[in-house]
């Protein structure tokens, strides 16, 4: 028996199609990479907006303002981060490549700025300290504020427009949709990350523990000014490759980050923006799963390729919430279409291989193959509505029908009523016990000489023969 959390695990891992996950993940990676281009090139562009095409236009128009000092630091940092694991394969477990890249970029930027001096201030490499400033508790500074997070109710903080939030039903209604979407995406990302870590460590994760931990963390984080967080594949892989084997590694990671904010804020302020852009380029590339995208585009069915491209395009041009909603909707439509293709109704010969003897011409046998649900029920049963009036008994073999939904039950009831009006008896063969109980609850019960259930076709044929003989002799047959 599945618990609610394991059921949610099954929903995320089994019912959210892989092209949907891959499409919006690659789309997010593309947006992240594009947003780093101005810092990597040192463009005089100002703050980018929310629309991808407008941002691309502004970036293209600003390309003549590229600053070679920023580009040089960015390229240098990118090369260091890519080359470090290959040049020092033994040290990469002790000192991760991103850390080496950040330190190298900061040293290079400091040297370049010192060499350029005040006379060429316009060519100076921009850093975290020169870009950002802060003010809190009556003090101010540049870069990262060296202040530990303080506890505060999120609804007491200003909204996106700077105005104080008003906790009311309208605010909850506005946030409910995005909150559910973010929760779903967070669960997907975290469980996918857990699957990746299983492959690296040759272990098996507990999905319930993953979702409970993520949920508790995301409940507490907003109380300290945090935002929604998920498991990160890039950081998890780096952690495991550095020797992490238990949850203690995550605790140590959080402690190091807190220590860096409080004690090393000044040093972190020296990191160039171009170096951060180079780091995020690598993160975006790893996140994009480019090899898997290319593999899907080359080998997957056309429907899956279309879903991936639609999700990718919607994520880039609009937002991931719309992309996931549309992607799951398209995947559901594609699934229904595929089920409609495999569900079929055909008439069997009266002398089929399961018959002990040829059946009279007034007994017809049909076989239904595939699930009966709202998308295919009418299609599967419509041919049975046109049974010849000369037929006295119809046998429907349902041994290959794994399930039925409410729409199929209504369609079957309509078929039964139509056959009874024509005086045609119906025998349902091979129906599972679970489906029989479901049909009985819907009012489809045995009726003498007109409707019954049989365990297989051989049994159904014997019953049909007895009914026929009973009618010819003027007495009811026995089911």
- Select the more confidently predicted residue: 472 or 167: 167
pLDDT at residue 309, as a whole number:
94
Confidence of residue 9 (pLDDT cuts 50, 70, 90): very low
How far apart (Å, rounded) are the C-alpha atoms in residues 7 and 208? 10
- Select the more confidently predicted residue: 43 or 342: 43
CB neighbour list of residue 20: distance below 8 Å, 6 or more residues apart: 307, 308, 311, 323, 324, 327, 328, 331
pLDDT (mean) for 20-48: 88
Of 285, 277, 275, the C-alpha closest to 100 is: 275
DSSP letter assigned to residue 64: G
pLDDT at 99 over 70: yes
Q: What is the mean pLDDT of the chain?
A: 82
pLDDT (mean) for 103-122: 79
How far apart (Å, rounded) are the C-alpha atoms in residues 77 and 101? 5
Task: Show the DSSP H helices in 88-220 as ranges.
Answer: 97-116, 128-131, 169-201, 207-220
- How far is CA 240 from its chain centroid? 24
pLDDT per residue as tens digits for the range 399-420? 999 888 888 899 899 888 888 8
Evaluate whether 42 touches 327 at the Cβ level (below 8 Å). no
pLDDT at 200 over 80: no
CB neighbour list of residue 10: distance below 8 Å, 6 or more residues apart: 2
pLDDT at 10 over 60: no
Global model pTM greater than 0.85: no
How far apart (Å, rounded) are the C-alpha atoms in residues 104 and 76? 8
pLDDT at residue 4, as a whole number:
42
pLDDT per residue as tens digits for the range 35-51? 999 999 999 887 888 88
Confidence of residue 30 (pLDDT cuts 50, 70, 90): very high
Confidence of residue 388 (pLDDT cuts 50, 70, 90): confident
């Amino acid at each position: 028996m599945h618990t609610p959390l394991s059921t949610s695990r099954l929903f995320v891992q089994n019912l959210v199609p892989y092209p949907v996950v891959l499409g919006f993940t690659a789309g997010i990676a593309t947006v992240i990479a594009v947003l780093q281009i101005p810092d990597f090139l040192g463009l005089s562009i100002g703050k980018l907006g929310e629309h991808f095409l407008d941002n691309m236009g502004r970036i293209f128009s600003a390309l003549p303002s590229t600053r070679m000092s920023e580009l040089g630091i960015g390229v240098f940092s990118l090369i260091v981060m890519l080359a470090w694991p290959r040049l020092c394969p033994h040290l990469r477990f002790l000192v991760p490549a991103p850390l080496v890249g950040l330190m190298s970029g900061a040293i290079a930027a400091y040297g370049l700025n010192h060499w350029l001096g005040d006379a060429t201030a316009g060519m100076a490499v921009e850093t975290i300290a020169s870009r950002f400033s802060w003010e809190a508790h009556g003090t101010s500074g540049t870069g990262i504020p060296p202040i530990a997070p303080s506890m505060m109710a999120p609804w007491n903080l200003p909204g996106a427009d700077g105005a104080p939030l008003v906790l009311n039903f309208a605010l909850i209604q506005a946030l409910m949709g995005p909150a559910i979407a973010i929760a779903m995406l967070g669960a997907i990302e975290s469980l996918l990350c857990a699957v990746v870590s299983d492959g690296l460590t040759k272990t098996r994760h507990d999905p319930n523990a993953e979702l409970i931990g993520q949920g508790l963390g995301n409940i507490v984080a907003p109380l300290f000014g945090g935002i929604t967080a998920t498991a990160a594949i890039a950081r998890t892989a780096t952690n495991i490759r550095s020797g992490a084997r238990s949850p203690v590694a995550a605790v140590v990671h959080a402690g190091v980050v807190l220590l860096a904010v409080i004690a090393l804020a000044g040093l972190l302020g020296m990191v160039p923006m171009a170096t951060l852009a180079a780091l995020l380029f690598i993160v975006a590339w790893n996140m994009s799963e480019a090899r898997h995208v290319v593999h899907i585009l080359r080998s997957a069915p056309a429907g899956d390729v279309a879903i991936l491209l639609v999700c990718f395009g919607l994520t880039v041009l609009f937002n991931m919430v719309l992309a996931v909603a549309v992607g799951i909707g398209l995947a559901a439509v594609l699934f229904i279409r595929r089920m409609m293709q495999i569900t079929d109704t055909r008439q069997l010969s009266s002398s089929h291989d399961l018959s002990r003897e040829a059946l009279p011409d007034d007994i017809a046998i049909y076989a239904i193959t595939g699930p009966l649900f709202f998308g295919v029920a009418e299609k599967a049963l419509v041919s049975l509505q046109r049974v010849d009036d000369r037929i006295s008994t119809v046998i429907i073999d349902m041994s290959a029908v794994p399930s039925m939904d409410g729409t199929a039950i209504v369609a079957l009831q309509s078929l039964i009523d139509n056959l009874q009006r024509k005086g045609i008896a119906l025998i349902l063969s091979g129906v599972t016990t679970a489906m029989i109980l479901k049909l009985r609850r819907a009012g489809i019960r045995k009726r003498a000489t007109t409707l019954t259930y049989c365990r297989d076709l051989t049994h159904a044929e014997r019953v049909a023969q007895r009914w026929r003989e009973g009618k010819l002799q003027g007495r009811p047959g026995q089911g």
